[in-house]
Chain A
Amino acid sequence: KNEVEQSPQNLTAQEGEFITINCSYSVGISALHWLQQHPGGGIVSLFMLSSGKKKHGRLIATINIQEKHSSLHITASHPRDSAVYICAIWGSNYKLTFGKGTLLTVNP
């Protein structure tokens, strides 16, 4: 079993919809990242969380340390949000473990 599980693997939405992507992990962590990767593009760090909630524009990330769960929300989704969203955790060692990613497609 992977240490980091994301759901769904693929998500298709209509422009304007509210999007939620989930990340569950099975080990104790120091922090969690949400990353974004556009098709053929590089990887951009959206958020780094160790507790609570962060907001940046239309993006909101939450984490529940006790439940070992994080969510990434996108409000008023737009076609330019179409990308792969990746959850990654810092464990107790030096390793950063990545989820397999969620492919989001937002149709106009």
Chain B
Amino acid sequence: DVKVTQSSRYLVKRTGEKVFLECVQDMDHENMFWYRQDPGLGLRLIYFSYDVKMKEKGDIPEGYSVSREKKERFSLILESASTNQTSMYLCASRRTVTEAFFGQGTRLTVV
């Protein structure tokens, strides 16, 4: 019954690596979102997409890019991972505000 799937629960990557975080939803939702969670700062919006090939910067887009080639998949890309990108990453999708779902999160550690 999983509706929003993030490809990994835990990831460890090296500084400078290119990192892809994948999020897939099976509900035909137009809107998808990427957040990161840090102690004391809570969850903050990195990027969102309101349709295929459409994207908007959130509050903290620096160091990230995204890709939405198909409606069901929204990828977060760290072009050159850095230690300050060690965080929990959360994907969400929605059709309307009353139909919104969250992934389980990906804990990324950059060493």
Contact = CB atoms under 8 A, between A and B. Distances in A.
Interface of A: 30-31, 33, 35, 37, 40-45, 48, 50, 86, 88, 90, 94-96, 98-101
A48 B96 CA distance: 12
Nearest to A33: B100
Interface string B66-109: 00000000000000000000000010100001101111110100
Contacts of A90: 97, 100
B43 interface: yes
Q: In terms of DSSP, what is the predominant structure of the interface of chain B?
A: strand
A96 B33 contact: yes
Q: How large is the interface on B (under 10, 10 to 19, 20 to 34, 35 or more residues)?
A: 20 to 34
Q: In terms of DSSP, what is the predominant structure of the interface of chain A?
A: strand
Contacts of B9: 42
Contacts of B97: 30-31, 50, 90
A17 B32 CA distance: 38
Contacts of A95: 45, 48, 58
